[in-house]
């Protein structure tokens, strides 16, 4: 039997895995609260409990890799604090320096961790002027305390002898510049101050590249994971021409360095309709993407016809079909069977599992998925 690492790489590189990894997706706080009311034990994680319930015999890694402990984020971070509480809402400053408004049923920790689906109203972002940008740059010193853990070399040595998956995750240029400038602010800058956007993108490209160089000098991970949410329901948030100018140089630099280091999976994540972005990602040298949101018009069968085996995928199962269950989720699995059989695809929920999916419907979906991927 293959190790989890071998199975995952073999699947996403269009090889011949013994089974396809079982990755159904999990829920956030509101979803887990419902599932616990409907039968999930309070002390159990959903995926582990499903495996036990269904009899899925997937051995965990014997030598899981340690976390490398590398921090691509700003150092120091901004103070998280509540600035105002009024009318059922909080005005807060988050760790990235944003001022935003959220419901008072949450707190600032929900803006640090994706614990649940939280709607927010942006009031001010930390980079609105060149002066703001000059100050922000100082928070990305490569040798800042905490950027790499004190035992980084030892962690890398332990990771070399692994049978679990080792990844390195960081923000892409659109994601990171949006965190600095806000979505509307960044889009306006791309039109009104494109040279400043070029400068910020180049800074981020070089910073991430230097981080990767230090990591790859010691260990070659199994994948890089680039967070790059940049698409609406039907279109990219910026034009392909803008993506080519402001993002493609970073994607290409990081992909080239990763491939040279022997990293097999170069993964990029974006919600929304990504059909017009995939050709750019392929051109950059990236070879995997997710979560393939069906409600946004993403169709894996169409993508496979158009892009062949130049791109592998993770996700792609319509969460709305999961909620409806019964014959609807069965038709959804049937729809994806050609891509599952063709390889280069790990099927799972096309985002976090929402709370309209009952525990019974989740179990049924997991049973179907386990059968389709060879575990039952």
Tokens for 234, please give them: 């039907």
Q: Give the C-alpha separation, 128 to 189, whole Å.
A: 9
DSSP per position, 28-52:
-HHHHHHHHHTT--TT--HHHHHHH
State the DSSP code for 353: B
Q: What is the pTM of this model?
A: 0.96
Q: Give the C-alpha separation, 50 to 368, whole Å.
A: 12
Measure CA of the first residue to CA of the last residue in the chain; give whole Å.
15
Q: Is the pLDDT of residue 113 over 90?
A: no
Task: Assign 93 a pLDDT band (cuts: 50, 70, 90).
Answer: very high
Torsion angle in degrees (nearest 10) through CA of 94, 243, 297, 183:
30
Task: Assign 322 a pLDDT band (cuts: 50, 70, 90).
Answer: very high
Instruction: Give tens-digit pLDDT for 140-174.
Output: 999 999 999 999 999 999 999 999 999 999 999 99
With left for phi above 0 and alpha for psi between -120 and 50, is residue 199 left, alpha or beta? alpha
- φ, ψ for residue 314, nearest 5 deg: -135, 140
Structure confidence at residue 263 (pLDDT): 98
Q: Give the C-alpha separation, 261 to 257, whole Å.
A: 6
CA proximity to 347, closest of 338, 355, 356: 338
Instruction: Give tens-digit pLDDT for 274-305.
Output: 999 999 999 999 999 999 999 999 999 999 99
- Cβ contact 211:284 at 8 Å: no
Rounded to an integer, the average pLDDT of 99-117 is 89
Residue with tokens 């014997």: 62
| 288-291 β-sheet, strand order | 167-171, 223-227, 265-270, 288-291, 312-317, 345-349
- Cβ contact 172:268 at 8 Å: yes
- Cβ contact 320:295 at 8 Å: yes
- Cβ contact 219:159 at 8 Å: yes
Q: Is the pLDDT of residue 59 over 90?
A: no
Q: Is the pLDDT of residue 118 over 90?
A: no
Q: Is the pLDDT of residue 115 over 90?
A: no
CA diameter of the chain: 59
Task: Assign 112 a pLDDT band (cuts: 50, 70, 90).
Answer: confident
Degrees, nearest 5: CA angle 266-270-271? 150
99 alpha carbon, distance to own chain's centre:
24
Q: Give the C-alpha separation, 316 to 326, whole Å.
A: 18
Task: Assign 222 a pLDDT band (cuts: 50, 70, 90).
Answer: very high
Rounded to an integer, the average pLDDT of 13-42 is 96
Task: Assign 310 a pLDDT band (cuts: 50, 70, 90).
Answer: very high
Q: Give the C-alpha separation, 98 to 337, whole Å.
A: 43
Q: Give the C-alpha separation, 258 to 278, whole Å.
A: 19
- H or E segment and range at residue 101: strand 99-103
Domains of the chain: 4-73+127-372 (3.20.20.210), 79-125 (no CATH)
Task: Assign 116 a pLDDT band (cuts: 50, 70, 90).
Answer: confident
- φ, ψ for residue 318, nearest 5 deg: -65, 115
Structure confidence at residue 5 (pLDDT): 97
């Amino acid at each position: 039997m293959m190790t989890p690492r071998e199975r995952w790489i073999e699947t996403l590189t269009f090889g011949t895995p013994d089974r396809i990894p079982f990755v159904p997706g999990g829920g956030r706080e509101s979803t887990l609260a419902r599932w616990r009311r409907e039968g999930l034990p309070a002390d159990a994680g959903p995926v582990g409990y499903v495996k036990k319930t269904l009899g899925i015999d997937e051995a965990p890694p014997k030598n899981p890799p340690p976390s490398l402990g590398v921090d691509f984020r700003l150092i120091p971070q901004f103070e998280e604090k509540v600035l105002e509480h009024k009318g059922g809402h909080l005005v807060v400053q988050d760790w990235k320096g944003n001022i935003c408004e959220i419901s008072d049923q949450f707190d600032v920790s929900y803006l640090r961790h994706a614990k649940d689906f939280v709607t927010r109203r942006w009031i001010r972002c930390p980079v609105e002027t060149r002066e703001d940008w000059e100050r922000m740059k100082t928070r990305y010193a490569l040798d800042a305390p905490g950027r790499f853990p004190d035992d980084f070399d030892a962690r890398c040595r332990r990771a070399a002898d692994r049978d679990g998956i080792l990844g390195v995750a960081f923000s892409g240029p659109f994601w990171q510049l949006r965190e600095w400038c806000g979505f509307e602010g960044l889009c306006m800058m791309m039109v009104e101050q494109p040279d400043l956007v070029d400068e910020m993108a180049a800074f981020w490209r070089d910073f991430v590249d230097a981080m990767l160089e230090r990591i790859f000098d010691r260990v070659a991970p199994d994948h890089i994971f680039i967070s790059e949410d940049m698409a609406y329901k039907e279109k990219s948030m910026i034009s392909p021409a803008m993506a080519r100018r402001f993002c493609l140089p970073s994607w290409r630099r990081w992909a080239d360095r990763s491939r040279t280091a022997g990293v097999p999976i170069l993964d990029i994540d974006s919600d929304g309709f990504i059909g017009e972005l995939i050709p750019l990602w392929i051109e950059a040298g990236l070879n995997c993407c997710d979560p393939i949101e069906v409600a946004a018009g993403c169709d894996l069968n169409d993508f496979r016809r158009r892009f062949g085996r130049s791109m592998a995928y993770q996700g792609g199962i319509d969460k709305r079909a999961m909620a409806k269950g019964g014959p609807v989720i069965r038709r959804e699995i049937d729809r994806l069977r050609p891509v599952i059989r063709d390889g280069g695809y790990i099927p799972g929920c096309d985002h976090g599992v929402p709370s309209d999916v009952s525990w019974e419907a989740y179990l049924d979906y997991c049973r179907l998925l386990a059968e389709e991927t060879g575990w039952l």
